[in-house]
């Protein structure tokens, strides 16, 4: 059978590396005329910002249009389930129905059973829910399973990994997405590849370990890759994997912006909605000024970041962990890729929570807030010390006069309302000395003032004036459509 060139069914002009990744996957999966397929599983080892989800959507769409698949299961970290919904909405140029399996266990099962049947049926679920609902997911019988942030199943004997191995064995096609399959421990490739294609490294972890590694150290518990097996291991890894790094993707734009929406927990959402109503009532009872509007907006912004200060006391209460959980997943992905990350934050309680999380993960970090005196030393450590991989900066004090080009990724955890602070913070990584395209990730709590703040900053609009104008047209300016 002759090879055929396949169109990427997406509503965007793909970059060259995305076309090559798509062609690689299609060739492996037998869509270009090869019969039988080289592999039923393919890994997209594409760094953050290079478009691996777009590529995966294109591959799944091609399989659907070729009548190879009808049902698609995407398993991902909880914090990025909504990202898949947004990516499909933006890019999928084929008919599909997508449902995020969230809520209680019975609600998830009900959603799965009542999936719309039009187009490609796509179910999106997080790893913990997947193993809890393994029986139901197995019965749903997805034709293709995508394991997003696939390093989450790098340990072969944890419950999530075992579940993905079993579900993957039933599926006709499998894809695994991650920045890289190996960081410090080459032995971590076994579990993801058991999900993808067990013929590459086999089904037995111990047979794999004995073939490729020597066990050394106290008690012989430390695996060290055998020098004479390194070439074979690498060749087998890349036999079903497409690799793309930002440094190699010369066609990428200088900057890429990703808006990652997170969902407040139910109780936090109720508190937020009540605060929206209270804020509107209070400005209606007083003078409509910039100061009054921004004061009310401040409390709403604090809540979207997870904290709320009492009206009559200075006590700060923890309300939500939604953004922190999302950041934790981003940090894990950056660590997996071996890169450095800058996190820009507005409020001090958020910074305290972030640094505590980094310490729990044993991740070295540098920090600049208004209270930090050794700014130059903090910058030097981040720029020069390979063990300091995260920089946490308060937007009002860390946005000027420093260079953070050791990183090409920046997360805006929370934003103030200053256009100057926003642009200055972005320039910390995108400046002279930066050799890679830069990625900016905005953590936005869905359906909150976060969306209005980011939109105003990107539009270079006067946020207070926008809100006041909305008020005079009869709207609650703190509500988000």
pLDDT tens, position by position, 206-232:
999 999 999 998 878 889 999 999 999
Q: Which two tokens stand for residue 257?
A: 């912006």
Distances (CA, A) of 228 to 131, 200, 211, 212, 222: 38, 18, 11, 9, 18
pLDDT tens, position by position, 300-340:
999 999 998 876 667 889 999 999 999 999 999 999 888 99
Task: Give the fold, CATH level 3, of 255-262+320-472.
Answer: Rossmann fold (3.40.50)
pLDDT tens, position by position, 106-164:
999 999 999 999 999 999 999 999 999 999 999 999 999 999 999 899 999 999 999 99
* Percent of the chain whose predicted confidence (pLDDT) is above 70: 98
CA atoms within 13 A on the CB side of 214: 9
Residues 6+ apart with CB under 8 A from 428: 342, 393, 398, 399, 402, 403, 404, 410
Q: In the prediction, which pLDDT does 180 show? A: 81
What's the whole-model pTM score? 0.83
Distances (CA, A) of 396 to 298, 347, 420, 428: 15, 10, 10, 13
Nearest to 182 by CA among 231, 136, 234: 234
Task: Give the fold, CATH level 3, of 16-244.
Answer: Rossmann fold (3.40.50)
State yes or no: pLDDT of 167 exceeds 60: yes
pLDDT tens, position by position, 235-261:
999 999 999 988 888 787 788 999 999
Same fold, 16-244 and 255-262+320-472: yes
Domains of the chain, residue spans: 16-244, 255-262+320-472
Q: Are 195 and 174 a contacting pair, CB within 8 Å?
A: yes
Per-residue pLDDT band at 276 (split at 50, 70, 90): very high
Nearest to 54 by CA among 209, 256, 211, 195: 256
pLDDT tens, position by position, 73-82:
999 998 889 8
* Percent of the chain whose predicted confidence (pLDDT) is above 90: 76
Token match 């069914």: residue? 9
Q: Burial level of 115, CB count in 10 A (0-12/13-18/19+)?
A: middle
């Amino acid at each position: 059978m002759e090879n055929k060139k396949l169109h990427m069914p997406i509503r965007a002009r793909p970059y060259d590396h995305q076309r090559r990744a798509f062609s690689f996957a299609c060739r492996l999966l037998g869509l270009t005329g090869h019969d039988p397929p080289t592999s039923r599983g393919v890994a997209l080892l594409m760094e953050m910002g290079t478009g691996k989800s777009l590529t995966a959507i294109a591959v799944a769409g091609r399989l659907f249009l070729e009548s190879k698949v009808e049902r698609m299961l995407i398993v991902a970290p909880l914090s990025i389930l909504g990202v898949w919904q947004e990516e499909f909405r933006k890019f999928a140029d084929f008919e599909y129905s997508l449902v995020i399996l969230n809520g209680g266990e019975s609600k998830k099962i009900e959603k799965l059973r009542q999936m719309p049947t039009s187009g490609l049926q796509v179910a999106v679920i997080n790893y913990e829910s997947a193993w809890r609902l393994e029986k139901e997911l197995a019965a749903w019988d997805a034709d293709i399973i995508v394991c997003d942030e696939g390093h989450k199943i790098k340990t072969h004997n944890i419950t999530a990994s075992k579940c993905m191995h079993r579900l993957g064995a039933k599926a006709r096609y499998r894809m695994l997405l991650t920045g890289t399959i190996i960081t410090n421990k080459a032995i971590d490739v076994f579990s993801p590849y058991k999900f993808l294609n067990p013929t590459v490294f086999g089904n037995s972890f111990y047979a794999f370990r004995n073939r490729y590694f020597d066990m050394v150290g106290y008690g012989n518990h430390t695996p060290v890759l055998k020098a004479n097996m390194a070439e074979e291991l690498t060749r087998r890894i890349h036999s079903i994997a497409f690799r793309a790094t930002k440094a190699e993707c010369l066609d990428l734009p200088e900057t890429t912006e990703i808006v990652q929406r997170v969902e407040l927990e139910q109780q936090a959402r109720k508190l937020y909605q009540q605060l929206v109503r209270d804020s509107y009532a209070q400005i209606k009872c007083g003078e409509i000024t910039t100061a009054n509007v921004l004061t009310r907006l401040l409390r709403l912004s604090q809540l979207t970041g997870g904290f709320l200060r009492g009206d009559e006391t200075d006590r700060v209460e923890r309300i939500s962990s939604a953004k922190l959980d999302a950041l934790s997943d981003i940090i894990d992905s950056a660590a997996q890729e071996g890169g450095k990350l800058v996190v820009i934050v507005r409020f001090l309680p958020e910074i305290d929570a972030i640094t505590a999380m980094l310490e729990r993960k044993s991740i070295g970090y540098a920090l600049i807030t208004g209270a930090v005196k050794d700014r130059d030393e903090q910058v030097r450590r981040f720029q020069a010390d390979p063990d300091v991989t995260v920089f946490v900066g308060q937007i009002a004090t860390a946005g000027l006069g420093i260079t953070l080009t050791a990183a090409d990724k920046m997360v805006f955890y929370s934003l103030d309302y200053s256009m100057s602070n926003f642009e200055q913070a972005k320039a910390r990584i995108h400046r002279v000395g930066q050799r890679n395209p830069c990625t900016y990730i905005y953590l936005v709590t869905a359906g909150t003032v976060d969306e209005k703040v980011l939109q105003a900053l990107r539009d270079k609009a006067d946020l207070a004036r926008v809100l006041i104008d909305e008020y005079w047209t009869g709207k609650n300016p703190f509500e988000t459509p």
